Amino acid sequence: MGKLAGKTALITGASSGLGERFAEILSAEGASVALAARRTDRLEALKSRIEAKGGQAISVKLDVTDLPGIKAAVAEVEARLGKIDILVNNSGVSAQKKLLDVTEEDYDFTMDTNTKGAFFVAQAAAASMVKQGIQGRIVNIASVAGLRVLSQLSTYCMSKAAVVQMTKAMALEWARYGINTNAICPGYIETEINREYWATEGGKKLMQMLPRRRVGEPKDLDGLLLLLCADESRFINGAIITADDGLAIT
């Protein structure tokens, strides 16, 4: 029996990268996991891997920029798993451009997913928790980019800074319902999406500028995620926690 036995966790952006890892680690601690993303083929493969290890998982198609779709996805999780105890609000996108080159489409692409989508997913999950009397846990995945400006990622930085403030507002307003809302701000984490970049000259140069000349792995967030999702975090609310190997203080 793991720390999260009897809990149900909804993880957005679960089809790859951090979201995939989050789903696996929460399942390993006993949670039933609802895997949400647009790429349902990837979700089904992850679902099969989790079930092969004895876990319970369902896949739910979700585009966080589709607001009616968010409500439908939450309703589906409730119908199939009964409740939502934990939300890991992980969906996110990025576009690397100089500010003078950012188009309206670029701006909307980033903000609609990272900020607007994240807000309405959290709102829908919180509404479910309140309705069912669940003293839940919401973990918003922000970024160190929400705390400092990264070159040519200014729109992304803006979107994640909004998530940081959003987290604090949610923590304050939803505390009365027993819901704890916190944010993890990862630094540079190597995933399948950026793995090739770290082997390039630009990637190697950037790595040499980092405090310990290395990037993280998804598993480096396991302990922090589990703490924020577990009952032991009952006195942690509104925290913005960096997991960046010291990048934010450089």
| Catalytic residue set | 156
Report the distance separating Cα 85 and Cα 101, nearest Å. 42
Phi and psi, residue 111, nearest 5°: -70, -35
CB of 246 closer than 8 Å to CB of 213: no
Report the distance separating Cα 92 and Cα 125, nearest Å. 17
In order, the DSSP letters of 28-45 are HTT-EEEEEES-HHHHHH
The single-letter DSSP state of residue 77 is H
Report the distance separating Cα 102 and Cα 106, nearest Å. 6
End-to-end CA distance of the chain: 41
